[in-house]
Structure 1
């Protein structure tokens, strides 16, 4: 798929109240996330595939990347602690049900709305491409994809969006006569739908309300508040054919860091209790490149 076709598809996704078809289930909301492994074995595979995606590694040299080195004490410690808690997938599935219930109650004009999750690293449920195709075949009139990363970054939300857009571009065809590429149909079938994207919801009041609810009874006991967020490192890829070069752009995406800062300001403003506050950025266990030294 060409870069221009992906761009046309991406920016053709616009939310609206129109339904392309009214004789089918109305709206399907799909929550996107990379997911997390629960064992060291799957963690190695997770990090290997994450590296391929992060660096856009050419297929002909992927076999030379040693998966046996994709683990260290930090990874093992994180996996051990994660195993003591409810799986992330179970948490998101519970969230999906709550969002579905709320949407059907608050916006009945959209018709019946179903909400589900889609994880990129979920080998037990087939390939990511197969799972996207399965969603497309559910006969929903409107499919909305929404990355669960509220603050947009190219390496997280952007990567998931590109993967979904590529699969939709390869599996479906724009409806003849439509004004944009958001109305699609599956070849050799009677399945058609409209597709939309929610990828920048960092300014939604839900986020500041959540933290205000959790902090308002406690903030008076504190001398200050420290917010923490994962570092996001963006890279440019120059593919030279036989090999590839990666270039870091500073330590973290500027837009991403400003987005986090703005959210923290909104939370503290809503609290209405003046206390000092700061932001700290940490390295996630699956950060690439590893290690990264960055802070604020």
Structure 2
């Protein structure tokens, strides 16, 4: 007697089972073949379709015909299988939308970029899937503008890593892309960091002397704002404060002995404005 096991997640099968089986790995169906198959299905079912919409479905199916057919079945409930219905029902973006989004990043147009993020949310696009779509697009078009697309791939990899920390994913996009576009946010808090200042500590009886948290001055000749802020953060030994500032703040500019810190999260702003924390950072 023989048993046939089929799975798309062979890594979840126990090694004791795999070692006793003859394993056959089937390749994923190429997008061109997938689109051709979906066209045949639409014609046989008398479904009106848009080839561009079938292309989107082929990409998000990642070579799995079963998933692609399921998506066609779901979208067909709305009528014609077109880009608008695919976006609405499956929460994915069109390729033209991805191109426009990348154009805003390349032009460092923060206003249009943030407006595009809001539009994606309003259209019901899943922002986690959108990040994956962008990475797939970058991979397919890498040689068209290699330096820029590799640069953007780092941003979207960071976004994917950060999404689990944000109950509202749009903020994760804005925090990361704000940094990669080099724009200045509206909320600023000034804090001098020209020299280390020991925090005010009320000594307890018989207590050991308190060592200031900043042990050495930061080089003032460094014009790299990001590098300067990273030096400051590396010397903060309060883990929660350090993480909050690292994830939600950056240096926008330096004037004389004043550093202007940009914060995007209101909680981080409140923490930075707290006199105890400000003295600690100084």
TM-score (norm 1): 0.22
Whichever structure has more helix as a proportion of its residues is 2
Relative contact order higher in (CA < 8 Å, ≥ 6 apart): 1
TM-score using structure 2 length = 0.23
More strand by share: 1
- Asked which structure has the greater CA Rg, the reply is 2
